[in-house]
Structure 1
Amino acid sequence: MAFLAQLGASTDELVDAIVGIPESDQETRIIFREAVLRLLRNHTYLRTNQFEVEDRLKGLEERFRVIGRDALADAFHKRLEALKPHHNKFTPDVFHFLLELADQPAQNTQLTALDELVEPEEIPPPNLTWKDVAREDGWIQERDIWLFNRHAPDSSDDEEAAEIKTVASVETLTSASSVDDRAQRTALDCAFKPQGGELLQQAKEALSWRRAPATNGQDQLVITTVSTLQLLREVLFMLSGLPTTAFDADCHPSPAYQLQGISLEASNALVNSFAECGRKIAPLRAFCKRKARSPLLQVFESSVQKALDSLDKRLASIQGRYVAIRGDTVVSLVGVLTELKPILNPLFSLSNIIRQLQEEKNTHAFRYLELLYDAAGMAQLQAHRDTYHLLGGIFFDCFQVYLKPIRLWMEEGKLLSGDRTFFVSESSTKLPLPQIWKGQFKLLHSPEGNLHAPRFLNPAIHRIFTAGKSIVVLKHMKRHAATSKYKATDEPRMDFATVCPDHLQFAPFSELFSAAFDAWIQSKHHTAAVTLQELLYNSYGLLQSLDMLEEVYLMSDGSKSDTLASAVFRHLDNFSSSWKDRFTLTEIAQEAFSASIDSYRIFAEIDPRNIVHSAIAGRSSVRVNLPAIRLGCRLNWPVQIVVTEEAIRGYQTIFTFLLQARRAIHVLKHPIKNFHPQGSLSATGPMARYYVLRTKLLWFCDAVVTYLTTLVLAPNTAKLRVDLGDAGDVDDMIKAHADFVSRILHESCQGAKLQPIRDCMLDIFDLAIKVADAQKLEMSRWEKDEHEIMRLSAISSPYASPAKAKAKYVAVTPKPRRRTDQDDESDKESQDLEWNLEQSIGDNEVKPHHVLLKKFLGDFERHLRFVAGGLRGVARASKEQAAVKWDLLAEMLEVGIKDL
């Protein structure tokens, strides 16, 4: 039972580990548990027999000895014995597995294979000797470093000792030092014999002042006076970044020491001047000890280290001047400070930059470039020539590293992976080809909205970004030649000596850099931009595509547009729903423009949001059904980079407005039966009033269409051609086309600011449809009334017999014919028109025709005054360029107001 309980618990753990069924699903857990238990209980395979394995191993060893391979048997036995301390319960299984894999081990085993398991011994590197150092560093060529000045033992400070100059050979020095290079040498080893001990003692006494400061019995610090030469040594060591006695680690002077021969205040002031210099230099040395990962910071650290090396060389030359005295030398701390000022002042400015970098939080890697740029310009303005040259040189050295991703982007259209300093990023998803230019790459911005790039590059960011995108688009066009074609062979040099020569020292640093960088950008931007523009014009037919858009959307060809519009209006007037079929509408559009545009390039769609189900309501207003008609033009994908989707929507807006105006003109010019009842053409008759209203409506519609075609569309399309020709790159072309679409939308009153005026224009267009419908309905009534009068007069004539009256009535009455479906539709149309007219005027009973015409005329006058006055007011209050066009349109419409 204990075994079964243990087996059940292990089975539960096995099922949980492999299947992972939640505890809530107990039925499934039980099913899997029972299945696993059944398999385990019925398992017929037992564990490996360890005794059988042991016998097989012993038999294998005996077989090796029998066939004469004792060496192999000894090696086999040795390893079996070494493995015994590491046996566990799985060892027999491993041995059994290896025995099953063995393939004639006695014949195929080679003892030499065991040598590959032995790790080779590491060969220690050769010892470094002074001879190797001298050979690598070039000490043999520098003979002056082997000159020693030996003074006579009896020489003093007041006597000029005879100098004995000897030259030590590299071989003797290196051989002597290589005997015991590893032993630690002491100052006593360096002393010259036989007076070396005395000289060492003198050196110790001379440096006795460096002992720890003592205090008197009252815990007051005892001030130790030091000589000028001793303090100078401390100052030079401190400026070199070495530990000193007179200054602590933070370059603060110790109060225990005073310069000999001057007052304490003067001594402290002089020492503090050097300490201040050391504190300003210390951040530079600490900065160089950092190990930056960014290449930008690495080159900056290298430039700072070079500046410190020049300081160290100057300090070493000063030390050498006072160590190897060749003549009368004046030791002066003030003189040394004055001598070091020209090289220290530039380093102070550099130290301020590093301090500012450390104080700012979350700074970008290129932040120091901005600080160097500003500091170099300020140093030039303040006439600090040395500081200007140092900071300007460091700036251009570091800027060369920042130019590498810019050069790669502009020449090959590539971005360095993991580069967080560049201002261009690529979308993680692949966009359609027409959207590559606008959406595939983005300019990075900070959370504050600033561009993720040095401020001094902002004027050139657009051209850099455009040049790289041009290369990317050219690659997708399969027109990108070798990368070397886009690499300018005469790329301008971007270094301080070239950009800021001495003869231009009075030119501002910012202008010199801008001019040089613009030339550098132009050398890489011009070729790609021009090549892409030529391909758009010549290979992909940009101008031809624009002509097609103007012909389809802007109705530049009136006859073709009339063909399209008439076919659509005919379907609307006939209450046919076939115009809503996109295939039928596409066929109509293709037939209309077949003379100049390939059929496959034009298609039509229907926007269901602007469709109404009532055919009467659809034909009685320009606000419904007509805006649902969407024409489309198939453009090459490079052309779609310039002609964006937003621009196509603007084209569609203009097309809809022109179609609505043509709808109003179409219903007014639709032929009406030449039937004029008696008195209807008088000055106050209904027909005269109708013709006056019709003339005014036609004049308004023609004025709007004339304004759009002659003052808006024609001048702007001509200006678009000029702007595209003057564009420097594709972005300029996109902007020129977007500005064109924006201009025609604003000047044609399609903007949000003029929305009430546009709605009032549409009301006038709808009014034209109402007038035409009312007149058509009235003509139908007059015709019926006249026919009835003729019938009654023929029957009631007193001069004719009933038989003759009947014959006369038959003669003047058309022969009755059988009613058809068209007659039923005509009657239905008349009834629907009458009902629609009642709904439009808002009355429950139909008013007389002359009353309706009077009302329509009043509505027209009110709408016209609103449109003209609104255009005048908006034009005067607006500062946009379109205001001039609005004022012209208002002046055109005010002519109609004067005639009212």
Structure 2
Amino acid sequence: MAQNAKIAGLTDELVHSILQFDPTTNKQAYKRAKDLAARGLRGHQYARTNQFDVKNIFAGLDEKCRIKNRDDLADALQLRLQKLEGISNRFKPEFLSLLLQLSDRPLENTRVEALDLLKPPSPPLQLTWNEILEGDPYSDEDIWKDIDYAVESSGDEQIPPKRKKQQPTPATSVDEDDTYDPGTCIDPTNDALVSDVEAARFWSSHPAEDGAKIDIMELQAVRETLFMLAGLQTSLFTVDKERSSVRVNARFKLSQAIPATIDHLLSQLASIGKDILRLRQWTRRPSTLPLIQTFEAATRKRLLDYDDRLSQLQRRYLVPKSPVAVSLLALYNDVLVESEQILRLSQIVSDVEPRLLINPFSHLEELFTQTTLAQMTLQKSSFDFFSTMLFDCLRTYLKPIRRWMENGELGANDETFFVFQNDSGSDVASMWHDRYVLRRNAQDQLRSPSFLQPAALKIFNTGKSVIFLKELGHGYALLNELDSEPSLEHHSVCGHSDDVPLSPFPELFNAGFERWIRSKYSLASASLRTHIFDTQGLMRILTIFQMLYLGSNGAVFENFANAIFERMDSGHRGWSDRYMLTELARSIFSDVLQAQDAEKIVVRSAKSKDQGPSVKGLAAVSVDYSLHWSILNITQRTAMPIYQQFHTALLQTYRVKYLLQRARPTRSHKIKNAAQLIYKLQHRLTWFVDILRSYYTETVVAFTSRDMEAAMGKAEDIDQMADVHVKYVAKLQERALLSSDLQPLHKAVIEMLDVGVLFAKTVTELDGSKTVRTRPSAPQRKSSAPLLDQVQLSDTDDDVEGDGGVAASKAARRSIGRSPTEALQMVDKEFTRLLPFITAGLRSVGRVGAEPMWEQLAERLEWECKKDRY
């Protein structure tokens, strides 16, 4: 523990010395840096190979070879081990251990003769004199023969005539040293040229009278002007670098022109030099942000090009190819043409400089605006100037975008990128929506260049898709399948034409940037979409949801609902045991689901607050389905309450249908007296419940699911899939009258279902038969089902009373103490009052919400009320 504490302290000191900022200002960055340092300093977890064990193994191998009568192999091994003793290497035990582990039965498979193949070839024998003399002996008789001196020799060559000697120079000490005289290497001085040079130094001249101005030539003024524009010190212009100002020196004049004209002309040139000087000084200021550094580097490059053009102007006057008329006015016009773009750039820098610290990419937006303006005004030179500069500066901004889209990585403390990690420890089930968010400013605007904002969502989703695939273990495949990205430069976007492009520059840029993003977005989104649909089975999961929660398979859902109702009516206290209900649901749904899918179903039952003759208590029964975290990022947990709400509405409908089927009257005396009213109410209530169930499953679920499946097939990424699912469940909730805006209508429907429950209870009591046992714990109750107990009123029961929707619980209380016939008459009265309220409400909201399903439901509910039916 002491060692760990010491290492932790040293790690803190190391991080402090490198980062040099207060950890309290950015705890997340400091914690990440500390973790990286701790992992780098952590000790090696693997032990070194024991060299003594290796030595003992080789000794044992040598002994084994000799015992097995393989002395030749033992001698060869011993010889090479002795040679290794003279070689020092810290990893020698590891090498020998590796060889031992790679060996395969050396006694049986090793042939000592094969070692001869490893011997290097013998070097060639050294040549001796005996071998040389054998081929060419020096005792040959020919070497002693006389030489024929008559043969033509080099002495017979013609000797060239001697050059005449030059006149000797006067003897000097240098001649005595056999060296040259330095004086002979110096050209004589031309006094006339010296006088001309001194005369050209007009700045050192003094006027003949005090207060008089020094007269200079126009060529001198041209040269001084070009020097001033290049940022050099001049005499004609006074440069104040601290204040970034350039003024004309009043000591000089041009006598060949009107003074006022010359002063105005020089003042205009000084104003140009002032703007350029301010731009040069801005590029020398240090900056820490890479975006601004790139902008400064691009500006310096344009200044170098501008200086090169000034040099060409100087060359025109210094080394003219033809006679040139020296004119300060002509120079001014040339300077205006050459300085047009650099002056506009200087104005851009002046405008964006105060905003760069707050908005570090404001220069990109300004360059984009200037490029668009130059194209609209058909200024080809300005368009090329600002367009190329825009793409040069954009190259740095694309680096974090490229890293995010290809690897799903973010730079440390990169405040210029519009994506940041909100919660690194968020649950993977909500990783897509919660872990990474878009950076926005105080005005809730995206913190990115305005011209990149249309593509920001694709950039954001591409990086999240890469991270998503990495979490699924498929991120490595993206790096191998990435194609070369298309170029995003001036020529690739705007073309190579010498004219201004006809299409607007924003459209050209968006098309080029879309191609650049598509090269990365398509692969990531397609890979993730394939994995979600094929591997995880998104559409299969949604189909299972339709069967579990939406009753798309009516036969199976009815079997499940009836099984629950039978357990409820049995009167046993353990009917709501979640283990029993879960096994019941799995066994029923296994007929239409695969075994691994049915095992994911879990049914729960909470204690209900509504213990009266109402279907509201069925909300306590809920169905859960275990989902993979990748699917949960699409369905989202917020959608599950809506599924449960729809599931409860279906259970309530099936509950009333279940009770009505089991409340058929017999031929008893009591029934005969109210038979007409009972059959009438039974028909009406059954008809209402059947229409409601048909509307839920055959209209709402069928049409809404069809639209959802079509939209889901077109979704490209998880954002679009999640958006389709959110709209899907919202549409289900609204069309099924379950949304908060339609609460009065839904409440009226529940009251109508409660009327059906009250009717079934009344018929059962009137018949006097105990078709359903009551709970043993409540023998005093006369209800035929646990949900048909004595009502407990709440404050919300009378919410729709003023609109014709009388609460069924209130009607149930009124029925206490009355005869069964009176209770049936009250049920008929409540049905007659609630049905017009529901149909009128459906027509009203159908006109407002433009939902034809509600109009159709109202038409079906009013079918019995119309007299012109045949």
Do the two structures share a fold, i.e. TM-score over 0.5?
A: yes
Shift of 1:234: 2.3
Matched position secondary structure for 1:252: strand
Paired residue for 2:407?
A: 412
1:663 partner amino acid: R
Q: 1:838 to 1:589 in 2, by over 3 A?
A: closer
> Residue 304 of structure 2: which of 297, 306, 309 is its match?
309
Aligned counterparts of 1:409 and 1:823: Cα–Cα separation in 2:
66
Aligned counterparts of 2:856 and 2:532: Cα–Cα separation in 1:
37
Q: Deviations over 1:114-148 (max 9, x none)?
A: xxxxxxxxxxxxxxxxxxxxxxxxxxxxxxxxxxx
Q: 1:282 to 1:889 in 2, by over 3 A?
A: farther
Paired residue for 2:513?
A: 517
> Residue 743 of structure 2: which of 755, 761, 767 is its match?
755
Whether 2:573 is the aligned partner of 1:544: answer no
Aligned counterparts of 1:848 and 1:499: Cα–Cα separation in 2:
88
Paired residue for 1:868?
A: 839
Aligned counterparts of 2:859 and 2:810: Cα–Cα separation in 1:
34
2:376 partner amino acid: L
Shift of 1:309: 0.6
Q: How does 1:453-464 map to 2 (within 5 A)?
A: 453-464=448-459
Q: Deviations over 1:327-371 (max 9, x none)?
A: 422111222222233331111221222111123374322221111
Q: How does 1:297-696 map to 2 (within 5 A)?
A: 297-325=292-320, 327-360=322-355, 362-482=357-477, 484-489=479-484, 491-503=485-497, 505-597=501-593, 598=595, 599-607=598-606, 611-612=608-609, 617-618=610-611, 620-624=613-617, 626-677=618-669, 686-696=674-684
Aligned counterparts of 1:764 and 1:822: Cα–Cα separation in 2:
26
Shift of 1:868: 1.5
Matched position secondary structure for 1:293: coil
Paired residue for 2:689?
A: 701
* Runs of 5+ consecutive residues of structure 1 not aligned to the other structure: 1-190, 784-819
> Residue 734 of structure 2: which of 716, 730, 746 is its match?
746
Determine if contact 2:653/2:753 at 8 Å carries over to the other structure. Answer: yes
2:604 partner amino acid: E
Q: Deviations over 1:763-782 (max 9, x none)?
A: 1111111111122222229x
TM-score normalised by the chain length of structure 2: 0.70
Shift of 1:524: 1.1
Q: 1:212 to 1:874 in 2, by over 3 A?
A: farther
Q: 1:239 to 1:866 in 2, by over 3 A?
A: same
Aligned counterparts of 2:345 and 2:525: Cα–Cα separation in 1:
40
Q: Deviations over 1:301-331 (max 9, x none)?
A: 1111111111111111222322335542211
Shift of 1:621: 1.1
Aligned counterparts of 2:775 and 2:812: Cα–Cα separation in 1:
28
Whether 2:829 is the aligned partner of 1:858: answer yes
Q: 1:345 to 1:728 in 2, by over 3 A?
A: same
- Same amino acid, percent of matched pairs: 27
Shift of 1:272: 2.5
Matched position secondary structure for 2:339: helix
Q: Deviations over 1:849-897 (max 9, x none)?
A: 3332222222222222222112222222235xxx222222222223244
Determine if contact 2:614/2:757 at 8 Å carries over to the other structure. Answer: yes
Paired residue for 2:708?
A: 720
Aligned counterparts of 2:757 and 2:855: Cα–Cα separation in 1:
28
Shift of 1:747: 1.2
Q: Deviations over 1:577-603 (max 9, x none)?
A: 324322222122222212233342101
Whether 2:857 is the aligned partner of 1:886: answer no
Determine if contact 1:239/1:281 at 8 Å carries over to the other structure. Answer: yes
Determine if contact 1:500/1:512 at 8 Å carries over to the other structure. Answer: yes
Q: Once structures 1 and 2 are overlaid, which stretch shifts more, 492-501 or 427-436? A: 427-436
Q: Once structures 1 and 2 are overlaid, which stretch shifts more, 539-548 or 571-580? A: 571-580
Q: 1:669 to 1:257 in 2, by over 3 A?
A: farther
Determine if contact 2:634/2:721 at 8 Å carries over to the other structure. Answer: yes
Q: How does 1:211-360 map to 2 (within 5 A)?
A: 224-248=214-238, 249=240, 250-325=245-320, 327-360=322-355
Matched position secondary structure for 2:624: strand
The structure showing larger relative contact order (alpha-carbon pairs under 8 Å, at least 6 residues apart) is: 2
Aligned counterparts of 1:724 and 1:229: Cα–Cα separation in 2:
77
Aligned counterparts of 2:289 and 2:228: Cα–Cα separation in 1:
31
Shift of 1:492: 1.0
Aligned counterparts of 1:426 and 1:824: Cα–Cα separation in 2:
57
Shift of 1:417: 2.1
Aligned counterparts of 1:487 and 1:821: Cα–Cα separation in 2:
69
Shift of 1:255: 4.6
1:293 partner amino acid: T
Q: Deviations over 1:168-227 (max 9, x none)?
A: xxxxxxxxxxxxxxxxxxxxxxx986236x6555444443456799997xxxx7555543
TM-score normalised by the chain length of structure 1: 0.68
* Runs of 5+ consecutive residues of structure 2 not aligned to the other structure: 1-185, 792-807
2:236 partner amino acid: A
2:217 partner amino acid: S
Determine if contact 1:392/1:496 at 8 Å carries over to the other structure. Answer: yes
> Residue 733 of structure 1: which of 710, 717, 721 is its match?
721
Paired residue for 1:711?
A: 699
Determine if contact 2:226/2:310 at 8 Å carries over to the other structure. Answer: yes
Paired residue for 2:782?
A: 829
Q: Deviations over 1:691-710 (max 9, x none)?
A: 21222122222112111212
Determine if contact 1:283/1:354 at 8 Å carries over to the other structure. Answer: no
Aligned counterparts of 2:554 and 2:612: Cα–Cα separation in 1:
22
Determine if contact 1:213/1:256 at 8 Å carries over to the other structure. Answer: no
Compute the RMSD of aligned alpha carbons. 3.0
Q: Deviations over 1:666-696 (max 9, x none)?
A: 2222243513427x65xxx522112212221
Shift of 1:471: 1.3
Aligned counterparts of 1:531 and 1:407: Cα–Cα separation in 2:
18
Q: Once structures 1 and 2 are overlaid, which stretch shifts more, 769-778 or 753-762? A: 769-778
Aligned counterparts of 1:260 and 1:466: Cα–Cα separation in 2:
71
Q: Once structures 1 and 2 are overlaid, which stretch shifts more, 650-659 or 424-433? A: 424-433
Matched position secondary structure for 1:630: strand
Paired residue for 2:4?
A: none
Aligned counterparts of 2:864 and 2:276: Cα–Cα separation in 1:
85
2:201 partner amino acid: L
Q: How does 1:9-24 map to 2 (within 5 A)?
A: none
Q: Once structures 1 and 2 are overlaid, which stretch shifts more, 578-587 or 545-554? A: 578-587
Paired residue for 1:17?
A: none
Q: 1:823 to 1:347 in 2, by over 3 A?
A: closer
Determine if contact 1:346/1:390 at 8 Å carries over to the other structure. Answer: yes
Aligned counterparts of 1:215 and 1:558: Cα–Cα separation in 2:
116
Determine if contact 1:443/1:451 at 8 Å carries over to the other structure. Answer: yes
Shift of 1:275: 2.1
Q: Deviations over 1:513-539 (max 9, x none)?
A: 111111111111111211222222222
